[in-house]
C-alpha cells in the first residue's frame, strides 16, 4: 500500500511537472530582415505606385508599420553597428565604413545581439552582408555570436570598376571563403534557400536569424525575376526581396511556428540618389537607386531621406494587426526589444541607446522613443524631439546653418522654422552639444 501511494504521489508530481512545462511558453523565434540602401518609398505599403510588394504589404497588415522608423546611421557599416550593438556607432567605436583592405572593424569588446541570445539557448545564423570587419577572422560573424554564416563580407560594389582593390569578392561559409566572384543576380535567392534550411532545421530550439540582404545596393541585378516589374531593374530587385520575405513567412506557417516568431523588417539607410560618378560604370544607371519619394536627402546625409526607412514588425497573437504608428522607432531599439521578447536581460556594464519596444508592441500606447540623434561619421548633425528636428550639418549639400523642421507638418524638410522658434532652436542645439560630448562626437560650429 505504501509503495502504491508513493507511486501515485510520484505520478502526480510528474504530471504536474509536465503540465507546468507545457504551460510555460516557448521562447519566440526572432528574425531580422535587413535590406541595403532601400528607400522609404520603395514598398507599395509606403506609397510606391508601381513596385509590387504583396508579402511585405501583408506583413505590415498583420502587424505594425512605422512611418518614422530610423536606421542608426546613413551608411552601411555604422548602421549595422547600431543594430547589432544597440549603441550609437560612435559610442561603439566604429562610426565609418570598412572595406576590402581594412584590418579590424567593430571592436571585439562590443557585445553583439546574438551573443546575448546564445547564452539563453538560441541557435543563431547570419545570412548575407556582414560589413563589420573580416580580417583577422576574429571579426567575422562566426566569432561574434553566430553559429553559422553564409554571405559576403562587405558591400557587393567593393570590386573593380567601382572600387579599386585587388581583393576579389568572396562568398563565405562560416569562417572560410568558399566561392570567388559570385554571380550577384541570384544572391537573394541563395540567401533565401539558406534561410529556409535554417528555419526547417530549428526543431524545438528557438532561433535568431539575421538576414542582411546585399540588395538593392548598387550594382543591382535580379536573376530569374528580371523583367517582371514595371519599375524596371530596380523594381525587379525589390520585388525579388519581397518574394524572399514571402517564402520565409510561408515556411514559418508550414513549420507551425508562425505564431511564435517575431519578424522585423527594415533598411540600413536611405537610397543612394547622391551616388558618386565612379558608380556609373558597367551598366549602373542613376535610376537604379530607387524612388525619390516624399523625403529630402538620401544615403550619407542627416536629412530624413538618409535615415528614415521602412520599419515593419509582425508577431501574430502578440502584435495586434493593422497598426500604423507615426511614433519614432529605430534599429537601435531592436537589440533591447528582441532580448526582452526572448526573456533575457541586457548586459549591465555599458550604456545602451536603444529602447525596449515590447510593452508598446504588446499593449499599444506611445512609443518609449521620443528622440533620435542623427550621426554622419564622427559628426552629430541633428536631433529629433517629438515632431521637432534641429539640424546643423554639412551632409546633403547644406552649409552648416541651423535648421529647424516640424516633421509632422513638413516631413520633406522644405520649411526652415529656425527664425520663428528661436527658443526651440536654442534648446535642441544645447541638447545636441550635450549628447555629442557624452559620446565623443564632433558638432558643426
By annotation, the residues acting in catalysis are 76, 131
Give the count of alpha carbons within 13 A of 78, CB side only: 26
CA distances from 441 to 374, 375, 435, 438 (A): 11, 8, 8, 8
Contact 266, 329 (CB under 8 A): no
Q: Going along 242-326, which residue ranges are E strands?
A: 261-267, 308-314, 323-325
Which residue has 528661436 as its cell numbers? Answer: 422
Closest Cα partner for 218 from 166, 128, 280, 268? 280
Decide if 309 contacts 40 (C-beta within 8 A). Answer: yes
* Cβ atoms 297, 393 nearer than 8 A: no
Q: Are 170 and 153 in contact (CB under 8 A)?
A: yes
d(CA 417, CA 405): 6
Amino acid at each position: 500500500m505504501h509503495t502504491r501511494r508513493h507511486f501515485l504521489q510520484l505520478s502526480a508530481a510528474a504530471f504536474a511537472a509536465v503540465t507546468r512545462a507545457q504551460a510555460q511558453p516557448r521562447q519566440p523565434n526572432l528574425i531580422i530582415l535587413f535590406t541595403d540602401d532601400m528607400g522609404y518609398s520603395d514598398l507599395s505599403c509606403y506609397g510606391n505606385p508601381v513596385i509590387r510588394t504583396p508579402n511585405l504589404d501583408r506583413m505590415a497588415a498583420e502587424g505594425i508599420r512605422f512611418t518614422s522608423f530610423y536606421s542608426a546611421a546613413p551608411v552601411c557599416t555604422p548602421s549595422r553597428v547600431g543594430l547589432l550593438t544597440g549603441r550609437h556607432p560612435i559610442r561603439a567605436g566604429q562610426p565609418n565604413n570598412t572595406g576590402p583592405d581594412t584590418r579590424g572593424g567593430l571592436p571585439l569588446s562590443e557585445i553583439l545581439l546574438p551573443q546575448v541570445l546564445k547564452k539563453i539557448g538560441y541557435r543563431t545564423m547570419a545570412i548575407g552582408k556582414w560589413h563589420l570587419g573580416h580580417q583577422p577572422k576574429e571579426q567575422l560573424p562566426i566569432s561574434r555570436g553566430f553559429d553559422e554564416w553564409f554571405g559576403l563580407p562587405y558591400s557587393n560594389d567593393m570590386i573593380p570598376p567601382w572600387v579599386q582593390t585587388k581583393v576579389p569578392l568572396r562568398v563565405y561559409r562560416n569562417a572560410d571563403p568558399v566561392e570567388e566572384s559570385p554571380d550577384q543576380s541570384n544572391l537573394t535567392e541563395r540567401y533565401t534557400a539558406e534561410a529556409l534550411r535554417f528555419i526547417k532545421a530549428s526543431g524545438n530550439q528557438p532561433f535568431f536569424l539575421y538576414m542582411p540582404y546585399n540588395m538593392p545596393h548598387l550594382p543591382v541585378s535580379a536573376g530569374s525575376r528580371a523583367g517582371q516589374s514595371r519599375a524596371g531593374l530596380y523594381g525587379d530587385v525589390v520585388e525579388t526581396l519581397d518574394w524572399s520575405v514571402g517564402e520565409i513567412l510561408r515556411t514559418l506557417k508550414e513549420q507551425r511556428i508562425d505564431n511564435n516568431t517575431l519578424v522585423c523588417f527594415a533598411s540600413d539607410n536611405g537610397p543612394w540618389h547622391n551616388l558618386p560618378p565612379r558608380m556609373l560604370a558597367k551598366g549602373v544607371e542613376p535610376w537604379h537607386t530607387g524612388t525619390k519619394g516624399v523625403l529630402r536627402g538620401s544615403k550619407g546625409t542627416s536629412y530624413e531621406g538618409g535615415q528614415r526607412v521602412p520599419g515593419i514588425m509582425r508577431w501574430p497573437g502578440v502584435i495586434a494587426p493593422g497598426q500604423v504608428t507615426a511614433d519614432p522607432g529605430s534599429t537601435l531599439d531592436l537589440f533591447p526589444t528582441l532580448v526582452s521578447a526572448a526573456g533575457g536581460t541586457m548586459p549591465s556594464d555599458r550604456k545602451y541607446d536603444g529602447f525596449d519596444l515590447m510593452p508598446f508592441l504588446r499593449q499599444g500606447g506611445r512609443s518609449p522613443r521620443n528622440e533620435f540623434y542623427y550621426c554622419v561619421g564622427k559628426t552629430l548633425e541633428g536631433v529629433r524631439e517629438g515632431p521637432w528636428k534641429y539640424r546643423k550639418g554639412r551632409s546633403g549639400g547644406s552649409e552648416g546653418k541651423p535648421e529647424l523642421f516640424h516633421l509632422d507638418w513638413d516631413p520633406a524638410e522644405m520649411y526652415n522654422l529656425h527664425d520663428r522658434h528661436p527658443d526651440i532652436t536654442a534648446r535642441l542645439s544645447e541638447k545636441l552639444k550635450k549628447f555629442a560630448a557624452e559620446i565623443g562626437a564632433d558638432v558643426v560650429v
